[in-house]
Amino acid sequence: MGKALGIPDSGLIQRAMPTVLDINEPLDKLLLNKRFRQSFMDFADVCLAGESVHFYDEVHELNRIPVDDSVRRVYMARHIVEKYIVVGSEMEVNISHRTRQQILDTQDLADPDLFNHALIELVQLMKTNLVRDYWSSMFFLQFKEESCKESDSYDPMEHLGGCKFSPRLSSVHGSDNSFHQEQKCNAGPYV
């Protein structure tokens, strides 16, 4: 939506992957990295919980519109409200009734703080429901591998701030995994 509105890339959201991604950073800081956010969004979409990350992404696009450009801000905010906030909308996000009503009842769609409470709630929801599974997913492993390929010196632990991860691929197994119908495993039930 931001490109359609002609929102310039202000540099608020990092374009290039930093050399070191410290996964101990808070999720809201990690989501500022465009490539991390895209990987996390892809994971959330597969988990049928992507609306929160998509909302986060579009609110950041809105925040790149200058505050004095109220016409584009209102247009973008209206798009976000219709797509994510209105009950029964296409990608309705899971926020409190109070926060939803504050957004729906606002008289100033150009307000730069309009979606702040919703963002706080959704980041907390993502931390609770998605982050732990993301770290053990194929999406994270692929993100880590792609990040390491860009660097000439290849030390995966260096690129992850020295954190150690379990080599397990996913916490979803067998019939619970509707996205991978056949999972053959000869190594036993705990792989």
* Model pLDDT, residue 3: 57
Within a domain: 80: yes
CATH number of the domain that residue 74 is part of: 1.10.167.10
- State the total domains in the chain: 1
Within a domain: 40: no
> Can you give the pTM of this predicted structure?
0.69
* Model pLDDT, residue 5: 57
Within a domain: 29: no
Within a domain: 60: yes
Residue type, 127: K
* Model pLDDT, residue 177: 47
For the residues of the chain, what is the DSSP string, one character each?
-TTTTT----SSSBSSPPS---TTS-HHHHTTBHHHHHHHHHHHHHTT-THHHHHHHHHHHHHTS-TT-HHHHHHHHHHHIIIIISTT-TT-----HHHHHHHHT-S-TT-TTTTHHHHHHHHHHHHHHTHHHHHTSHHHHHHHHHHHHTSSS--HHHHTTT--------S--GGG-TTSS----SS-TT-
* Model pLDDT, residue 181: 45
* Model pLDDT, residue 97: 97
Within a domain: 4: no
Within a domain: 184: no
Q: Which domain holds residue 73?
A: 50-129
Within a domain: 57: yes
Query: Tens-digit pLDDT profile for the chain (191 aa)?
Result: 555 556 555 444 444 444 457 778 899 899 999 999 999 999 999 999 999 999 999 999 999 999 999 999 999 999 999 999 999 998 999 999 999 999 999 999 999 999 999 999 999 999 999 999 999 999 999 998 888 876 645 454 454 544 444 444 444 444 444 454 444 444 344 43
Within a domain: 188: no
